[in-house]
Structure formats: C-alpha cells, structure tokens
C-alpha cells in the first residue's frame, strides 16, 4: 500500500493519466517491482522515504509486474527492481537494482527534481537576518497555498506588528478564532499592538536610573518600558545589564524579564537570538 500522498499504485487503466499525463505537471518516479523480489523490499522504503522528503517534488508510481506484465514489457524491464524517471511524458533517467539513497538523490538532482521550498523556514531565516519585509512576503506566499495554516497566519500578524503595520496585523488576527488567538505568535502580536496604544512616560524612569545607575529595579523598569514603547534594542541592553548584575535578583526577575521580551519579539528576531545566546552563557557561568 502507498505510504503517503505522493505514492500511488498504477496499472494499465490509470497509467496514461497518472504517469504519462501526470508527469507533465510533476515528475514521476516509476518503480517496477514484484512481491517475490528481495531487493525490491529493501528499495521500497528508500523510495517512499524520498517521496515523503521531497513532499511533492516528484510522485512515486509503483507497478507490480506480476499484475501488469504488459507495462513491464513496454518499458523493456528485464529485472526488478527497475526505476524510471518520467518527465513531460518521456523517460529522463533511471536505474536497475537496489541503489543507495545518496545515488537516487543525485539522479533526481541531475534531472532538476528538488523538494519544494520551505517558505516558512525561509521566512524564519529572513527575520533572523533582520529582513522583516522579506519574511512577510514569504509568509504571505506560504498562506496563498495553505490559507488554513493558523501558526503561519499568527506569524504574519506578529511580523506586521513588529513592522508597525497595525491595520495589517489586526486584519490577520481578525481571521483567527478565539482559541487560535492563544497561539504564541498571535499573543505576541496582540501585546505589541496593545503597547502601541499606550503612552509611556519614560522621563521618570530615565531620571531614576540616572540617579541610581547600579539599581537593578531601575534597569528592569526602564528596560521593560522601552520594550513596550518599541525601543527594543536599548530595552534589551538594560534587561541584560540587570541580568549580568544579579541573574537571581528578586526571584530571577531579570531572567523573567528577558524571557518576556523574547516572547514579545519572537524567537526569530535578531535581538532575541543574540540575547538568548548571551543569557545561556550567563546561566552556565
């Protein structure tokens, strides 16, 4: 039985539609096998794993030569397993016998068969590199193909909130149910949006820290307020300065403040990535 959605059993009746015509939209790896063939039993899990890994990069079509000998004859199959790559209705490549996964991947690469791009992973990389606009574009592209992906929509709302696009972020959040709004990215987006509506008077906090520059409570208070007001970089600097002074102060308040900031900014935010590493070093010292 097929192991996943990208694996199909084919015979004479559906060969034209699934293999020849289907290969014009998606490459087809045609596997001729038999139940009595020991190498086939070893090759099958390799091919099915690749079909799952490539996630639509190609389709694996399996032909039982005992049930469909005419198909094996048409392709000149003399022994099994025999695997043929079909592209645009034509034979592009293939191999005979049991082959290692590495060789099959090389064959696929040689013919330009690649896994589909992981747009969400690319978005995370873009955000980690500080390219929020690029991350937004990638998540939007992903949602065009997967509009029901709740974490992706919550992520888009958070990215837009980070960019200051209040209307866009609110629009994305409005498409989530009450339960879906509890997703960590949706909650982080909401916190960012809510903080933009606040008028935070930083002057007294600045004055208190200037008066007591070594005060952990003063560093934490101003650091939190700066994060809330959107001055994320300086806010992180102050929170980490407090952690460096005494990580366990007031039931680990500096560590908790940093973790709250990480959650608000998101795991892929460059500031989060930087200060999370620095906090890890501090925790281990």
Helix (H) or strand (E) holding 95: strand 90-96
Q: What is the b/e burial string over 98-116, where b = at least 16 CB atoms within 10 angstroms of the residue's CB?
A: ebeeeebeebbeeeebeee
Residue 70 contacts by C-beta under 8 Å, 6 or more apart in sequence?
Answer: 12
Q: How far apart are CA 111 and CA 109, in angstroms?
A: 5
Please say if 284 is a catalytic residue. no
| Catalytic residue (choose from 10, 19, 34, 37) | 37
Give yes or no for a contact between 120 and 113, defined as CB atoms under 8 angstroms apart. no
Angle between helices 232-245 and 249-265 (to 10 degrees): 150
Give yes or no for a contact between 170 and 156, defined as CB atoms under 8 angstroms apart. no
> In whole angstroms, what separates CA 128 from the centre of its chain?
13
| Catalytic residue (choose from 40, 161, 162, 173) | 40
Q: Known catalytic residues?
A: 37, 40
């Amino acid at each position: 039985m097929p192991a996943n959605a990208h694996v199909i059993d084919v015979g004479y009746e559906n060969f034209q539609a699934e293999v020849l015509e289907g290969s014009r939209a998606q490459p087809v790896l045609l596997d001729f096998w038999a139940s009595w063939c020991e190498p086939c039993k070893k090759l099958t899990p390799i091919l099915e794993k690749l079909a799952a890994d490539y996630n639509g990069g190609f389709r694996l079509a399996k032909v039982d030569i005992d049930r469909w000998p005419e198909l094996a004859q048409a392709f000149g199959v003399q022994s099994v397993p025999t695997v043929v790559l079909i592209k645009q209705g034509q034979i592009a490549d293939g191999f005979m016998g049991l082959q290692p996964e590495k060789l099959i991947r090389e064959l696929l690469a040689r013919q330009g068969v690649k896994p589909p791009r992981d747009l969400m992973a690319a978005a995370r990389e873009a955000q980690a590199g500080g390219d929020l606009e690029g991350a937004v574009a990638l998540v939007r592209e992903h949602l065009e193909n997967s509009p029901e992906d709740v974490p992706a929509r919550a992520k888009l709302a958070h990215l837009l909130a980070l960019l200051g696009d209040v209307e866009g972020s609110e629009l994305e959040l409005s498409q989530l149910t009450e339960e879906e709004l509890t997703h960590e990215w949706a909650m982080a987006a909401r916190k960012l949006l809510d903080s933009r509506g606040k008028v935070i008077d930083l002057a007294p906090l600045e004055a208190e820290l200037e008066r007591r520059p070594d005060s952990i409570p003063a560093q934490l208070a101003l650091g939190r307020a700066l994060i809330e007001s959107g001055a994320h970089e300086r806010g992180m600097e102050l929170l980490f300065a407090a952690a460096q002074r005494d990580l366990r102060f007031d039931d680990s308040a500096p560590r908790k403040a940093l973790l709250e900031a990480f959650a608000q900014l998101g795991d892929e935010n460059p500031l989060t990535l930087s200060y999370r590493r620095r906090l890890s070093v501090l925790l281990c010292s």
